[in-house]
Structure 1
Amino acid sequence: MNSTRRAVLAGLLATGIAPCTAGSAVAARPRPAASLLGKEIRRLPTSRHEVALTFNAAWDESGLDTVLTELRRRRLPATFFPTGRFARAHPRAVRAMGAEHGLGNHSDTHPYFDRLTSGQREQEVRRADAAIREAARTEPLPFFRFPFSHTTPETVADVNRFGYAAIEFTVDTNGYLGPGGGMTVERVVGRAVAALAPGALIQMHVGSATGGTVLDAEALPHILDAVRANGYGVVDLRAFLVPEGT
């Protein structure tokens, strides 16, 4: 275990979280730490100067190669949240995400969850899970991100009951809006930097809502430079899991 990972684990233990570690004899299906349940999570429970990188995938995959290459070059983790519909349309993309990073669940068809019955919510989550599993050929994480980041106490309780933590975000870079939506690389970077704080969850997208320039992909190197320059590291959301049954 390297010194950075050891420091991360020490910090998590200090907050009362018992994360899974590589090589330990744990159950195959970890679950979210208790500190992630009972509410929507917009900042991770840590006082360390670390942030988490997350990417939604609901439209196209045009920025994915750039994102994965940059993360690989820097040896940094991220968590990707594809929809089931995206997984069915772009299975190779989801497989590429899951080969190196954690995969969350962003629903099957991206509806407003407060407009659904509890049974329909479960169907959205389960169908997405099945599609992501089939595409990635790996175990998705028990992390759910609500479409439109629209949550209510009832919908969060349902998602928790299905076995997922509701992982939202501290800041959305808004890169998905593209130049047509008034965004630039500089503005994307500025939004991410302004939100830097211990446990901040940065939300980006691998594609563009307009099908044009993927600003998040272009901005990622500059965001990561700024994260480091401001004294922050990047934490893997998988560190906030505990063995099932504990």
Structure 2
Amino acid sequence: MTVYSKAGFSFGRLLVAGLVAAAAVVSTVVAPAAVGLAGVRRAAVVAQRWDEARLRALFGSENRTIRTEQRVVALTFNAAWNDRGLDTVLSVLDRHKAPATFFLTGDFADRNPDAVRRIAAAGHGLGNHSYSHPNFVDLTAYERANEVLAANRAIRAASGAVPLPFFRFPYGETTPQHIAEVNELGFADIEFTTDTNGYLGAAGGMTADKAVQRALDGLRPGAILQMHIGVPNGRSPVLDAEVLPRIIEAFQSRGYRITDLRDLVSE
């Protein structure tokens, strides 16, 4: 984990413009007819550009839903433990032509660079979930900044892509002060409407049916669903990978479309 100095934290005030500029540097021209939809999505990950005004409109809030009345829902996955279930998840998303955003810890990216590259190659968004998944309440402001910036560096190094300017707090624990800090670093806080709790597994009392029902209980226009890649402490199976087809089909049968969180800030 790279440790950033206090001067680096102060420099974070400039990162909103910096993230936009960094995305522009690696931008490329894509011919949709030549590469197809999957190719366009892959290129979008590498050549992301943000609308700064739209990004700033997300600041100051937890953003637990998308501000819309349309029947859309966003799929998100956290990854901190291991990459178990990832191949299944990517296959299901591809089969349903569904976009997703993966919130990765920097530690996960450092340990699983191939997994990060597979996510990026599939054309999905890459968000920041801190470097080591600590509870931010236990850290100083400088330590919190280090967690965010080191994770961004690790995700970019592993993927070869520009990560989204989206941050999700470990454990979903936010405070207005901590949100303001990540906003100052150039990131919008993107939380979730509901979590399947699939990561708990059978040992935690979860079943496939319960995970699907939790997803449906939180369904509303602009809902953001949180799921997980991998399992902690060797738990099995990876319920979120197992139930993903059922969740997508249940959403679609209720008239919902899977939306891409990148649309919140795209130019």
TM-score of the superposition, structure 1-length normalised? 0.86
Which ranges in structure 2 are unaligned for 5 or more consecutive residues?
Answer: 1-27, 31-46
- 2:110 aligns to what? 88
Amino acid at match of 2:197: N
Distance of 1:104 and 1:28 partners within structure 2: 13
Residue 97 (structure 1) aligned with residue 119 (structure 2): yes
- 2:55 aligns to what? 33
Aligned residues of 1:98 and 1:136 also touching (Cα < 8 A) = yes
Residue 66 (structure 1) aligned with residue 97 (structure 2): no
**1:200: how far off?**
0.4
Aligned residues of 1:204 and 1:216 also touching (Cα < 8 A) = yes
Which ranges in structure 1 are unaligned for 5 or more consecutive residues?
Answer: 1-21
Amino acid at match of 2:90: L
Identity of aligned residues (%): 52
Residue 230 (structure 1) aligned with residue 227 (structure 2): no
Amino acid at match of 2:141: S
SS of aligned partner of 2:102: strand
Residue 45 (structure 1) aligned with residue 90 (structure 2): no
Amino acid at match of 1:74: H
Distance of 2:139 and 2:73 partners within structure 1: 32
SS of aligned partner of 1:223: helix
Residue 156 (structure 1) aligned with residue 156 (structure 2): no
Aligned residues of 1:35 and 1:45 also touching (Cα < 8 A) = no
Aligned counterpart in structure 1 of residue 191 of structure 2, from 168, 189, 206: 168
Aligned residues of 2:56 and 2:188 also touching (Cα < 8 A) = no
Q: CA RMSD in A?
A: 1.7
**1:23: how far off?**
6.9
**1:33: how far off?**
2.8
**1:176: how far off?**
0.3
Aligned counterpart in structure 2 of residue 54 of structure 1, from 73, 76, 81: 76
Residue 77 (structure 1) aligned with residue 99 (structure 2): yes
Amino acid at match of 1:201: I
Moved over 2 A (4+): 31-35
Distance of 1:87 and 1:38 partners within structure 2: 28
- 1:12 aligns to what? none
Residue 107 (structure 1) aligned with residue 130 (structure 2): yes
SS of aligned partner of 2:232: coil
Distance of 1:37 and 1:179 partners within structure 2: 37
Distance of 1:163 and 1:176 partners within structure 2: 30
| Closer/same/farther in 2, CA of residues 166 and 137 from structure 1, 3 Å limit | same
SS of aligned partner of 1:239: helix
SS of aligned partner of 1:130: helix
What per-residue deviation string (whole Å, max 9, x for no partner) do you get for residues 87-136 of structure 1? 01100001111121000000000011122121111110110011101110
**1:196: how far off?**
0.6
Amino acid at match of 1:228: Q
- 1:141 aligns to what? 164
Aligned residues of 1:43 and 1:201 also touching (Cα < 8 A) = yes
Distance of 2:79 and 2:48 partners within structure 1: 26
SS of aligned partner of 1:151: coil
Amino acid at match of 1:241: V
TM-score of the superposition, structure 2-length normalised? 0.79
Distance of 1:216 and 1:222 partners within structure 2: 10
